[in-house]
Amino acid sequence: MENHNGVFMGVDLRCQVNNQAHRTEEMDQDRLIVRRGQPFSLTLQCSTPPPPGHRLALVLHLGKEMVVKVLDVRGGRGQWWFRQQGAEQSEMLLTVYSPANAPIGQYQLVVLMTSLDGHILDQTPPQSFHLLFNPWCKGDAVHVPDEEQLQEYILNESGVLYQGSWDHISALPWNYGQFEDGIVDICFEILDNSPAALKNPEMDTENRADPVYVSRTITAMVNSNDDRGVVSGRWDGEYKDGVAPTRWTGSVPILRRWSEAGAQRVRYGQCWVFSGVACTVLRCLGIPTRSVTNYSSAHDTDGNLAVDFVYDEQLESVATGRKDMIWNYHCWVESWMDREDLGKGYDGWQALDPTPQERSDGVYCCGPCPVRAVREGNLGVKYDAAFVFSEVNADLVYWLVGPDGQRSQASLSSHTVGRNISTKSVYGDYREDITSHYKYPEGSIQEREVYEKAGRRVSHMDGEPGQLELSIKHAQAIHGTDFDVIVEVQNVGGHDALAKLTVMSNAVTYNSLHRGECERRTTSVTVPAQKAHKEVLRLCYDHYGACVSEHHLIRVTALLQASGHSDLILQEVNIPLSMPQLHVKVVGEAVVSRKLTAYIIFTNPLPVTLKGGVFTVEGAGLTSVQEIPAPGNVGPGQEVSVKLSFKPSRPGLRKLLVDFDSDRLKDVKGVATLIVRRK
């Protein structure tokens, strides 16, 4: 940095002062990381006073091709400029102004001293700095005027991802860790490894001024389907050559593992992992982002705005080709930005889905799609509005194929898909329902108008309603215990009714993949007029324990066939099994660089012995990932305790996240919240 032969001795980028002003001091205090549209300062250290009549010039390099000359007078929109605020014998203070639409990236800055006739008298060695999006700047396309939202959607390193089912919502703490050491470099490394950057780096560099382009690129790069992306998705339960998706508690170990392996995919993730990683990267780059969960989320493979399930009379699936699916829940992200590429009215929250489901323009990505376009049924809007619309609005139709191959409609629901769409509140660790952002109230005039615009008919069941009604009820089911499911047949008619009732329970994944049958029963029932028949199905751990998925979900399907009629009724419910929680206690005074001890206590709720137990611990600003093996096998009802030590690295509100996995029980979580003080 020093140069004793010329005027310049060195450059002080004033990293601590600038980073604090640009709200990046959590990322780094030794490197300059600033946000566009906001000035930053630097000090030129001189060995001798500058010669009379000198001029200063600043030149920036971005990528391999882009060179930007910084004007020494205020420029127009889109231009860099600087001013000299004062000069002493030994140093000069410069203030640099970046435009609010400058490309983000890692820049190299050189200061030149020239004579009046343009000859270079001296120059500094290149100085490196990162430029990010700036949601605090009114001129930036990602500007958000609400400071509380910025505290959450940019600065909060801890979050909550919502899982479970629409009527049994569970919260998963997630460590975004966007300010952890080296993460900003990995985020730009992801952009650099995109197919567009590798094919045409100059154009890619210019396009990084646009949050629409950057967010769409990140959505494609978080999954590894087409490119050198970060996470490989897998849903079949076979994870021995990687990490089970349920074991991750945050994005940081995933991103570091990808980078350290030379941009090699990390095995494995599922939708909440893709969502969590995308949220980390986008927040780090300066785009306000939040994770969103849609319950009873449709994956409509043929674009007909209906999810069709086809069964035979034994309730076995007989669908051919690619199957439509209902995911118990599905996570994506929303990012806030202007949509200058679209007509008026589409600024604001944009849905982005990094989980590889369908191709968009030939690539496994989805979005950014204006949430308002989904609500209004404007399906031609870029990008992927029709797919997102179907995720929250598709009809759910059950068909039964008889022995003669004839297909009959057994059930139709227009109100099952797209329930309780959820995100973490700005004001704390509780759920905010944003369903109304995506759809009008069911049954409203606006809903019907949207359906017509989107080309979806308001659906009705074929034929008249029969005299029998079918429902499935259950109490809260606790994993490891036996529990009852009650199937009720109600006769609302004026005469007795005879019918055949088939009830089946299956262990399934959260995205409807079958892992094994638990119980099946077929009975003939006679239901008196205006009475009800109740069939009790006891689900025993001995039956479901061996095949239950890592998502701890049982699906009960009931088919009612009235004798002498073609009437068919099919109902289906998903029953989440309640999981235990880890108890996490932190002992000691939480001060930066002072040792703390955490105690983790787990009690085995299952009637079987657990083997190969491992506790995984991490926390932004607290500790990188640590793995602690359980002390031997854990018998039924047995309590085990492990401890670990760590030293907090950064002050503030921090969360220590813990996961426990074993051979027969996975995805047990715990969290401890602590406030870390400066020394």
CB 474 within 8 A of CB 484: yes
Q: List the catalytic residue out of 130, 299, 330, 437.
A: 330
Selection from 78, 113, 77 nearest residue 94 by Cα? 113
Task: Please indicate whether residue 279 is annotated as part of the active site.
Answer: no
Q: Which residues is 411 bridged to in the sheet?
A: 398
Residue 402 has which token pair? Answer: 């008889």
467's torsion region: left (phi>0), alpha (psi -120 to 50) or beta?
A: alpha
Strand order in the sheet with 596-603: 583-587, 596-603, 639-646
Of the listed 15, 137, 187, 271, which one is catalytic? Answer: 271
DSSP class of 463: S
Q: Catalytic site residue 54?
A: no
- Residue 610 DSSP class: B
- Which among 421, 167, 442 has a CA at the least distance from the CA of 294? 421
Q: Which of 28, 300, 353, 659 is labelled catalytic?
A: 353
Which contiguous run of DSSP H or E holds residue 257?
Answer: helix 252-260
Q: Is 353 a catalytic residue?
A: yes
Q: Cα angle at 58 between 57 and 63, to 5 degrees?
A: 145
Q: What is the spatial distance between Cα 187 and Cα 194, in angstroms, rounded to a whole number?
A: 11
Under a CB-based contact definition with an 8 Å cutoff, are residues 288 and 255 in contact?
no
The bridge status of strand 553-562 relative to strand 568-578 is antiparallel
Q: What is d(CA 541, CA 203) in angstroms, rounded to the nearest whole number? A: 58
Contacts of 38 (CB under 8 A, 6+ apart): 21, 22, 98, 134, 136, 137
Question: How many whole angstroms separate alpha carbon 626 and alpha carbon 557?
Answer: 42
Provide φ and ψ at 556, rounded to 5°: -110, 125
Which of 455, 398, 373, 388 is closest to 418 using CA atoms? 388
Virtual torsion, Cα 182, 158, 679, 19, nearest 10 deg: 50
Please report, to the nearest 10 degrees, the dihedral formed by the alpha carbons of residues 230, 235, 240, 242 taken in order: 10
Q: Which residues are catalytic?
A: 271, 330, 353
